Amino acid sequence: MTGGIRNIAVFDTTLRDGEQAPGCSMNSREKLEVARRLEKLGVDVIEAGFPASSPGDLESVRAIAGIIKDSVVAGLCRSRESDIDAAREALAGAAHPRIHVFLATSPIHMQYKLKMTEDQVAEQAFSAVKYARGFCSDVEFSAEDASRSDPGFVCRVFAGAIKAGAAVLNIPDTVGYAMPGEFGGLVRYIREHTPGAEKVKFSVHVHNDLGLAVANSLAAVSAGADQVECTINGIGERAGNASLEEIVMALRVRKDYLKADTRIDTTQLYGTSRLVTQVTGVKVQPNKAIVGENAFAHESGIHQHGVMANRTTYEIMTSESVGISTNIMVLGKHSGRHAFEDRLKLLGLSVDAETREKIFAEFKLLADKKKVVNDRDIEALVMGFAAAAPETWKLDHWAVNTGSALGASGTIRLRHRDGTFQKRISLGDGPIDSIYKSINQIIGKEPELELYEIGAITGGSSSQGETMVKIAWDDKRYNGRGVSTDIIESSIKAYLAAVNAMEWDAPENRGL
Ligand code: KIV
Ligand code: ZN
């Protein structure tokens, strides 16, 4: 507590609950990139995955545990010894490991899912926490579906978990059923009626089925919760989880009222949101609070006038405070490396020296095509390198022929990483279809195109096109993003990025 303001721990579960949502899957490389970014954002806990759910999940948790030094890294487990063993193995290299065990406490879950009595649930929760505590000093216990459980029973299970050595007790609104006043009341009741409550921290984990996840999380904070569980962009099962950026900014902007804040570096929020959009292929709605395209746009004349006279007339926070730069360009084709690197620094975009070289080369090409390169273009360039798979196939050149009276034909020449070139021409239903068919012929695979979206990086006719694609192959999904001044080229780049992620994941290529 500083100056009467409580610190609330931020437990990010983008890589576990978020990733679990249909359409939000990420591969290991993407998860590592997101984990790095979450650490930079300053989250207290990164829930890296559910190690017992698959060998791939165990490996990604292990990889994340190996690189994250500042945040706690958590692995989720059912209340079973085999799950806890998997988490223990995955977290062995973590600087600050946490084992997160859960078991449902609601009558509905106990009767229909677990087929267990209250006594059996209380006993199993106790044993699981005790077992986990044998390997890890930081154990969190979650009473799944707590908001539909008997509060007295939750207190009983929690008291057992405290005796068994849990450090954090989590109260989930698993199905997004609670109302804010009610949920705050539940948190307060549990804190006041659980024997040993003073020894532990209380956490909340809220889903958004009624659109109340953030409101419920804040009500819980007001009722004394010490930790909030949330995801970037609010991704997660069904309607999602509580959105990290919304909770964090509500606490920052209204700490006068809520008497609580977090340690998050809010200037990293927008960049982290964009990265999650890029690796999942799931865009945020334009009017989404904090990170949506329109969150800081003032269209109406009255608002524009007010903001010009004084920003606080219609702005309760600045776009800069969440990492959205409003600067319009200073860089062009004559700008040197120095100016470019300064700009990267100013935008908080840190990249290693080798990547910086590549981005600078791309910047020069872009500056040649586009008169003004603005900050959003630079962000887009940097994003293109984040979490990108090594290029098995690189675009050499392309051409399309199309028109309303004729079909489309698409020619493409790709360079393989072994240095050879391949060229194909195909007919298709439009330019994109024909060129994607040509690519498929070269790679010898026909992945299913599950998502194809095209948009603009900035407004105006000089904006670059941004394409997102998701392809499915062998029951796995791969995302790709492409940016170019030409929308066909951005579509090709996006498809190739997804193809390269797929190729990199192929057993014969892994580890090359
Ligand atoms: O929603 C939920 O209850 C969960 C638990 C596993 C914490 O995700
Ligand atoms: Zn959940």
Q: Does some domain include residue 445?
A: yes
More confident position, 149 or 507: 149
Q: Does some domain include residue 418?
A: yes
Q: How far apart are CA 274 and CA 496, in angstroms?
A: 20
Token duo for residue 400: 């399309």
pLDDT at 326: 65
231 with 357, same domain: the answer is: no
- Residue 336, C-beta contacts closer than 8 angstroms, at least 6 positions apart: none
Q: Does some domain include residue 29?
A: yes
Number of domains comprising the chain = 4
> Is the pLDDT confidence value at 157 over 50?
yes
352 with 408, same domain: the answer is: no
Which residues are in the CB-under-5-Å shell of ion ligand 2?
17
18 with 87, same domain: the answer is: yes
Which atom of ligand 1 approaches the CA of 229 most closely? 7
Q: Does some domain include residue 123?
A: yes
Q: Convert the pLDDT of each residue in 424-445 to its tens digit.
A: 999 999 999 999 999 999 999 9
Q: How far is the CA of 104 from the centre of ligand 1 (A)?
A: 9
Question: What are the residue ranges of helices labelled H in 236-336?
Answer: 244-253, 255-258, 269-280, 301-309
35 with 124, same domain: the answer is: yes
422 with 273, same domain: the answer is: no
Kindly report the CATH number assigned to the domain that includes residue 424. 3.30.160.270
The closest alpha carbon to 227, from 395, 19, 7, belongs to: 7
Boundary-marking domain end, from 356, 386, 416: 386
Write out the DSSP string of 261-276: E----GGGHHHHHHHH
pLDDT at 238: 95
Q: Does some domain include residue 402?
A: yes
To test ligand 1's pocket by mutation, which of 142, 206, 227 has the most ligand atoms within 8 angstroms of CB? 142
Q: How confident is the model at residue 325 (pLDDT cuts 50, 70, 90)?
A: confident
| CA-proximal residue: ligand 1, atom 7 (nearest) | 142
Boundary-marking domain end, from 335, 356, 386: 386
The closest alpha carbon to 103, from 90, 116, 121, 115, belongs to: 121
Q: How confident is the model at residue 459 (pLDDT cuts 50, 70, 90)?
A: low
> Is the pLDDT confidence value at 329 over 70?
no
pLDDT at 511: 43
pLDDT at 477: 86
Which atom of ligand 1 approaches the CA of 146 most closely? 3
> Is the pLDDT confidence value at 512 over 50?
no
Q: Is 402 exposed, middle or buried (0-12, 13-18, 19+ CB in 10 A)?
A: middle
Strand ranges for 36-79 from DSSP E = 45-49, 72-78
To test ligand 1's pocket by mutation, which of 53, 99, 102 has the most ligand atoms within 8 angstroms of CB? 102
- Torsion sign over Cα 153, 156, 162, 165: negative
Token duo for residue 299: 């269209």
Q: Does some domain include residue 511?
A: no
Q: Does some domain include residue 52?
A: yes
376 with 422, same domain: the answer is: no
Beta bridge partners of 230: 12
**How large is the average pLDDT for residues 466-477?**
90
13 with 106, same domain: the answer is: yes
Single-letter amino acid, residue 220 = A
459 with 346, same domain: the answer is: no
Provide the residue range defining the domain that includes 175: 6-280
More confident position, 300 or 435: 435
Kindly report the CATH number assigned to the domain that includes residue 61. 3.20.20.70
Q: Does some domain include residue 287?
A: no
Q: State pTM to two decimals.
A: 0.86
272 with 143, same domain: the answer is: yes
**How large is the average pLDDT for residues 40-68?**
97
The closest alpha carbon to 105, from 19, 165, 44, 190, belongs to: 190
264 with 215, same domain: the answer is: yes
404 with 497, same domain: the answer is: yes
**How large is the average pLDDT for residues 20-42?**
92
334 with 425, same domain: the answer is: no
**How large is the average pLDDT for residues 57-77?**
98
**How large is the average pLDDT for residues 486-508?**
91
Q: How far apart are CA 345 and CA 363, in angstroms?
A: 15
